[in-house]
Amino acid sequence: MAESLWTLRQRVERMMGESITGTPSGFLTVNTFGCTKLEVYSDDYFKDWHGRFYSGTHKDISFVVTGFTQAGGICAFSPSVSVKTDSTDLFELIAPDFSADEINDAINLAISMVEKEGLQDKVDTTTEVVASTYEYPIPVGFLYIREVYQEDSVAGRYTASSGRMDVRHWEILPGSPAKLWFNSSLASLSAGRHLRLVGQQAPPQLATDAAICEVSPSYIVFQTKALLLATRLTGTESTLRAQEQMTIAQTMADRERQHLRVAGAGRRVAY
C-alpha cells in the first residue's frame, strides 16, 4: 500500500522513541506556536526536540524547539519562518535522538537499496516525432521499456491495433543518454506525433512530505530503523542495546525485502 513520506517518517519515529503530532491553536508568530494538546507537559519538556511542519502553510520545514511553556502549550522554535504560523501547520515533535531530516535521508537510502528490485510501472508521452529522425533520447528514469506506441491522428490517443510499434522495428542504444532507435526500413513514423513509452522505473526518491512511496511500508520502516541505529554504534552499554535493536530491525527488513522483487519486463535501458 502506497504511503506518503510523512506517514512513513512518523511510523519510524514511533518505533524509535517518543514523538507527538498536533495542530497550532494560538500564540502564532514567526517563531512560536501554541497547542492545547501539549499543555499536559511541563515547562521546557520539549526543549531541544526536533520538529517539522508536515502539512499546511509551512509544510516541509524542519526546526528545533528552543523553549517550551506549559501554559498555552507554547513552543518556541528556530529557525524562524518568513510568515506567521497558522492553524493549517500540522506539526510533529521528535525526541532529540534523530531529526526529521535525518529520518528522511534514511528512508530514501532504504528506497535506493531496493531500486533494482521494487520496479514500478512508468509511462511517458513527451517524445515528439521529428521528420527523418530515427533516434530519440529516452526520458530519464526508465530502466526497462516494454512497449512503444505512436500517437494516432487524434491527439492523445494511442491504440494497440494501429499505434503499437512492432518490437522488431526498434532497439535501445546504450549511452548517456540512452536512445530509442527505429529501423528506418521497417518503422513508419509520422512527424508531429508523440511516442508513448511503456516500461518500468526504480522507485523514486521522496523529496517532499506529500510524496508517495509505493515500496512496502513494512520494509521501509524496518530498514530505516536499522540504518538509523547503525549511526549510533560507538561501543557503550547503550550502544549494545542499540545494536541488538538494529539486528532485529534488519532481520525484519530482510524478511520483508524477499517479497519486493518485481521482474524486469521488456528491453533493458543501459546508461
216 in the same domain as 112: yes
111 in the same domain as 237: yes
How many structural domains are present in the chain? 3
Range of 65's domain? 18-96
238 in the same domain as 210: yes
SS (H, E, C) 125-180: EEEECCCCCCEEECCCCEEEEEEEEECCCCCCCCCCCCCECCHHHEEEECCCCCEE
Query: Among the three residues 178, 201, 224, which one is the final residue of a domain in this structure?
Result: 201
- Residue 262 located in a structural domain: no
152 in the same domain as 43: no
CB 133 within 8 A of CB 140: no
22 in the same domain as 39: yes
Query: Among the three residues 186, 201, 216, which one is the final residue of a domain in this structure?
Result: 201
Distance separating alpha carbons of residues 120 and 235, to the nearest angstrom: 40
182 in the same domain as 196: yes
Our CA dihedral for 24, 30, 31, 35, rounded to 10 degrees, sits at -10
214 in the same domain as 145: no
- Residue 264 located in a structural domain: no
Q: What is the pTM of this model?
A: 0.89
Per-residue pLDDT of the chain (271 residues; tens, 9 = 90+): 799 999 999 999 999 989 999 999 999 999 999 999 999 999 999 999 999 999 999 999 999 999 999 999 999 999 999 999 999 999 999 999 999 999 999 999 999 999 989 999 999 999 999 999 999 999 999 999 999 999 999 999 999 998 999 999 999 999 999 999 999 999 999 999 999 999 999 999 999 999 999 999 999 999 999 999 998 776 555 677 888 999 999 999 999 999 999 999 999 998 7
